[in-house]
């Protein structure tokens, strides 16, 4: 079966509308299960694969709509769905605890999956349109860019739709009709509407092949004129790098931040592809610029090797992390591109004649690397946990040990915390020590949602009087309050005042922010258990914050009896705050 089949229904198929509404319903039901704390929302092993399947499978069907009767596509859809379901369930079971958000940990699976999906789509479509896997590169080039532009335009179309919906809600709200805004923001409308609008966009764009072709030519012909500038930067940077390399390599230090080196390689590769395009026509730069750009790929080899060396030094010093794992994958891809493009640039024949073949080979290798990273065999987080656990056990100093333990406790999800618990339980005969167990227990303590170190935040609190103690129970209450109160979580500078505010003879703890306009009152009860009694705003007449802070630092503060009784309405207590302060 070759060639692109004609869609028997040039309009929007009813089956596509039904699939979009079903997708929206599935996504809403998953959202509801999380919000209502019902299965599968309470089980990451079910929630993660179901969410990914509900997102990716319908989009893939819409993009391949004309080929739905092709057996190869049907087999690919079934095989892909099974792979996603199994790999996502295994990943969630290993790394995500029930009830935990674990956003960064989950993203460590989703992003590689989306990249693998994006690489596999044009390769599969090439097989369906050309009837063979080794189709011509111009066809693969066209399909890759068409797919990318289709998704980008569909996302833009959906975004503009929601801008209009938001505008409608605001406009009707100005008339006092709040029901429109409430309906638009209701998840029962949001999910089906988004799925339906995205589906409409994909099918409309697919029916306008000429529009995509024109936009593609315009984008690439514009980008290709940045390739000479990128080449000039590569040449100038490499010439400046060469004199510094011997000394830096001899010292065995990280040469420089690998991220920026890899960005330079990635952007240069993209722009060279914009110049090469399908390889059927010369770029039109002229002989001088075309020759100069042939020099760029060999210099990219130096940059990619430097990035690899920097990553190796960082990993040897600080252990493997998922970020460094993907840094190695990216650097290896950059080096492969640089070597392949160097061969293509200096081969006889047309300008960069073999670039297309290099792109296909690297795409297949990257696809294999991405798919393997989604399995337990090459799971970046599992490999990083193993690396950091070994580093914690063999660290030469406390700083390196504590950094490894913090990674396990705060950045490695449920499996990292499990490994940290195992380290905390190691006996001396198993290679543990008192210092290691103590550090592991400390790393198990939760942090606030921003990821700041609680002990560092606590040390910056100014106390009045300065000798005031911070009892363990009070520290526990402060940690809990900072984790749940958004205002308290955002404040960096605080002052803690110890004074009796409820006339029970026991000093309370009043926490105020640096501007002295918010407070958090902590009181102690039975068993030295501290609780957050109340929080809110500090109201006072016209006076500068500087005057208040100066009085607090002098220790000039205390409790005053109320000038008048409070008002009770039902079970609420209201303060009768005068607009003009009464005389003392």
Q: Which two tokens stand for residue 521?
A: 């009152």
Q: Among residues 138, 127, 147, 133, which one has the least CA distance to residue 3? A: 127
By mean pLDDT, which of 21-25, 472-476, 565-569 is the weakest?
565-569
Helix/strand/coil (H/E/C) assignment for every residue in 498-517:
EECCCCCCCCEEEEEECCCC
pLDDT over 80 (residue 464): yes
Do residues 392 and 408 make contact, with C-beta atoms less than 8 angstroms apart?
Answer: yes
CA distances 141 to 22, 37, 267, 546, 562, Å, are 33, 46, 18, 65, 78
Q: Which residues pair with 530 in a beta bridge?
A: 524
Report the half-sphere exposure of 526 (CA within 13 A, side-chain side): 0
466 and 431 in one domain?
A: no
Asked whether the predicted pLDDT for residue 8 surpasses 70, the reply is no
Q: Is the bond leading into 40 cis (omega within 30 degrees of zero)?
A: yes
Q: How far apart, in whole angstroms, are the C-alpha atoms of residue 495 and residue 87? A: 49
Structural domain that includes position 150 = 14-207
Spatial separation of the C-alpha atoms in residues 320 and 312, rounded to whole Å: 9
Query: What is the DSSP secondary structure assignment for residue 46, as one 8-state letter?
Result: H
Least confident stretch, 268-272, 275-279, 384-388, 445-449: 445-449
Kindly state the percentage of the chain with pLDDT values over 90: 53
* Dist CA 210 CA 129 (whole Å): 18
pLDDT in the model for residue 2: 46
pLDDT in tens, 23-53: 999 999 999 999 888 999 999 999 999 999 9
Last residue of a domain, one of 207, 230, 250: 207
In this structure, what are the phi and psi dihedrals at residue 496, rounded to the nearest 5 degrees?
-110, 120
Residue 507 lies in a domain: yes
141-179 pLDDT per residue, tens: 999 988 999 999 999 999 999 999 999 999 999 999 999
* Confidence category of residue 365, pLDDT binned at 50, 70, 90: very high
Query: 101 and 175: one domain?
Result: yes
Assess whether 319 and 397 both reside in one domain: no
Q: What is the pLDDT of residue 540?
A: 65
Q: What DSSP element (H or E) covers 521?
A: strand 518-524
The residue among 119, 116, 114, 206 whose CA lies nearest residue 157 is 206
Same domain, 27 and 117: yes
- For helices 187-206 and 44-63, the axis angle rounded to 10 degrees is 30
* pLDDT band with cut points at 50, 70 and 90 for residue 9: very low
Q: Report yes or no on 48 lying in a domain.
A: yes
| pLDDT tops 80 at residue 77 | yes
Band (pLDDT 50/70/90 cuts) for residue 310 is confident
Q: What is the reported pLDDT for 583?
A: 44
Q: Tell me whether residue 582 is in a domain.
A: no
Residue 93 lies in a domain: yes
Tell me: do 114 and 203 sit in the same domain.
Answer: yes
The answer on pLDDT for 449 being more than 50 is: no
pLDDT of the residue at 37: 85
- CB atoms near residue 549 (< 10 Å): 16
Residues 361 and 380: their CA atoms lie apart, in Å, by 23
Count of Cβ atoms closer than 10 Å to residue 555 Cβ = 12
Query: Do 430 and 477 sit in the same domain of this protein?
Result: no
Question: From CA 439, how far away is CA 311, in angstroms rounded?
Answer: 27
Q: Judge whether 448 lies within some domain.
A: no
Helices (H), 347-453: 355-373, 380-394, 398-410, 413-424, 434-443
Q: Confidence class of residue 452 from pLDDT cuts 50, 70 and 90?
A: low
In this structure, the answer to whether residues 312 and 385 fall within a common structural domain is: no
Quote the CA–CA distance of 125 and 4 in Å, as a whole number.
9
Selection from 507, 457, 459 nearest residue 482 by Cα: 457
Which of 163, 187, 207 marks a domain boundary? 207
φ and ψ at residue 424, rounded to 5 degrees: -65, -20
Residue range 413-439: mean pLDDT, rounded = 86
Q: Do 362 and 340 touch, CB atoms closer than 8 A?
A: yes
Interaxial angle between packed helices 71-95 and 103-130, expressed in degrees from 0 to 180 and rounded to the nearest 10? 170
- The pLDDT value recorded for residue 253 is 54
523-541: average pLDDT: 79
The answer to whether the beta carbons of residues 404 and 395 sit under 8 Å apart is: yes
Q: How far apart are CA 429 and CA 102, in angstroms?
A: 34
Q: Confirm if 518 and 512 have CB atoms less than 8 A apart.
A: yes
Residues facing residue 519 across a β-bridge = 512, 536
The C-alpha angle with vertex 508 and arms to 504 and 509, in degrees rounded to 5, equals 175
The string of DSSP codes covering 163-230 is HHHHHHHHHHHHTT-HHHHHHHH-HHHHHHHHHHHHHHHHHHHHT-HHHHHHHHHHHHHHHGGGHHHH
Let me know if residue 5 belongs to a domain: no
The whole model's pTM is what? 0.75
Percent of the chain with pLDDT over 70: 89
Pair (223, 366) in one structural domain: yes
* Mean pLDDT, residues 52-64 taken together: 97
265-302, pLDDT tens digit by residue? 999 999 999 999 998 888 999 999 999 999 999 999 99
Task: Specify whether 179 is located in the same domain as 248.
Answer: no
Point out the domain boundary residue: 186, 207, 228.
207
How many domains would you assign to the chain?
A: 4
Nearest-angstrom CA–CA distance, 204 and 12: 8
Do 105 and 51 fall into the same domain?
yes
Query: Is residue 162 included in any domain, yes or no?
Result: yes
CA angle 429, 430, 431 (to 5 degrees): 95
Helix axis angle for 434-443 and 398-410, nearest 10°, is 40
pLDDT category at 453 given cuts 50, 70, 90 is low
Question: In the Cβ-directed half-sphere of 416, how many Cα atoms lie within 13 Å?
Answer: 25
User: Are both 134 and 61 inside the same structural domain?
Assistant: yes
Are residues 181 and 40 both part of a single domain?
Answer: yes
pLDDT band at 11 (very low <50, low <70, confident <90, very high): low
Is a pLDDT exceeding 60 seen at residue 3?
no
CA dihedral 502, 487, 187, 58 (to 10 degrees): -140
**Distance in angstroms (rounded) separating the CA atoms of residues 334 and 369:** 14
> Averaged over 226-234, what is the pLDDT?
96
Residue 579: pLDDT band (50, 70, 90) is very low
Both structure tokens of 474: 């009070």
| Assigned domain for 552 exists | yes
**pLDDT score at 567:** 67
């Amino acid at each position: 079966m070759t060639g692109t089949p004609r869609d028997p229904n040039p309009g929007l198929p009813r089956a596509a509308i039904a699939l979009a509404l079903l997708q929206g319903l599935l996504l809403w039901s998953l959202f509801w299960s999380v919000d209502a704390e019902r299965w599968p929302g309470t089980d990451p092993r079910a929630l993660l694969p179901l969410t990914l399947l509900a997102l990716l499978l319908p989009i893939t069907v819409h993009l391949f709509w004309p080929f739905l009767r092709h057996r190869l596509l049907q087999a690919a859809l079934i095989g892909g769905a099974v792979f996603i379901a199994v790999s996502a369930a295994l990943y969630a079971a290993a790394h995500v605890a029930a009830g935990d958000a674990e956003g960064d940990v989950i993203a460590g699976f989703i992003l590689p999956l989306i990249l693998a999906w994006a690489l596999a789509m044009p390769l599969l479509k090439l097989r369906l349109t050309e009837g063979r896997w080794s189709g011509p590169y111009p066809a693969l080039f066209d399909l890759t860019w068409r797919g990318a532009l289709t998704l980008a335009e569909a996302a833009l179309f959906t975004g503009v739709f929601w801008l209009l919906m938001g505008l409608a809600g605001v406009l009707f709200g100005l008339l006092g009709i709040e029901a429109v805004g409430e309906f638009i923001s209701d998840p029962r409308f949001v999910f089906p509407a988004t799925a339906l609008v995205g589906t409409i966009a994909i099918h409309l764009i697919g029916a306008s092949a000429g529009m995509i072709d024109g936009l593609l030519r315009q984008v690439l012909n514009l980008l290709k004129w940045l390739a000479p500038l990128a080449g000039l930067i590569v040449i100038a940077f490499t010439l400046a790098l060469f004199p510094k390399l011997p000394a830096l390599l001899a010292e065995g230090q990280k040469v420089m931040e690998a991220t920026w080196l890899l960005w330079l390689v990635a952007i240069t590769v993209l722009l060279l592809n914009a110049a090469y395009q399908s390889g059927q026509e010369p770029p039109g730069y002229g002989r001088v610029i075309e020759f100069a750009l042939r020099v760029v790929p060999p210099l990219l080899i130096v940059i990619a090797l430097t990035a690899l060396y920097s990553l190796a030094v960082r990993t040897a010093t600080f252990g493997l992390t998922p970020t460094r794992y993907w840094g190695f994958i990216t650097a290896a891809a950059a080096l492969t591109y640089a070597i392949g493009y160097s061969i293509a640039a200096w081969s006889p024949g047309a300008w960069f004649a073999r670039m297309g073949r290099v792109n296909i080979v690297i795409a297949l290798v990257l696809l294999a690397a991405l798919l393997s990273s989604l399995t337990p065999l090459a799971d970046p987080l599992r490999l990083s946990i193993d690396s950091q656990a070994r580093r914690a056990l063999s660290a030469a100093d406390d700083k390196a040990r504590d950094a490894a333990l913090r990674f396990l406790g705060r950045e490695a999800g449920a499996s990292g915390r499990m490994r940290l618990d195992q380290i905390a339980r190691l006996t001396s005969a198993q290679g543990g020590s008192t210092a290691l167990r103590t550090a592991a227990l400390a790393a198990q303590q939760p942090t606030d949602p921003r990821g700041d170190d609680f002990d560092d935040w606590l040390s910056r609190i100014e106390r009045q009087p300065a000798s005031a103690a911070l009892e363990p129970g009070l520290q526990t209450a402060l940690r809990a309050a900072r984790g749940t109160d958004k205002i308290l979580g955002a404040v960096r500078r605080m002052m803690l005042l110890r004074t009796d505010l409820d006339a029970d003879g026991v000093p309370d703890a009043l926490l105020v922010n640096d501007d002295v306009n918010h407070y958090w009152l902590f009181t102690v009860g039975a068993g030295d258990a501290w609780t957050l009694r109340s929080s809110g705003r500090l109201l006072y007449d016209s006076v500068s914050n500087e005057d208040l802070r100066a009085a607090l630092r002098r220790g000039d503060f205390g409790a005053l009896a109320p000038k008048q009784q409070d008002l009770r309405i039902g079970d609420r207590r209201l303060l009768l705050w005068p607009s003009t302060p009464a005389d003392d």
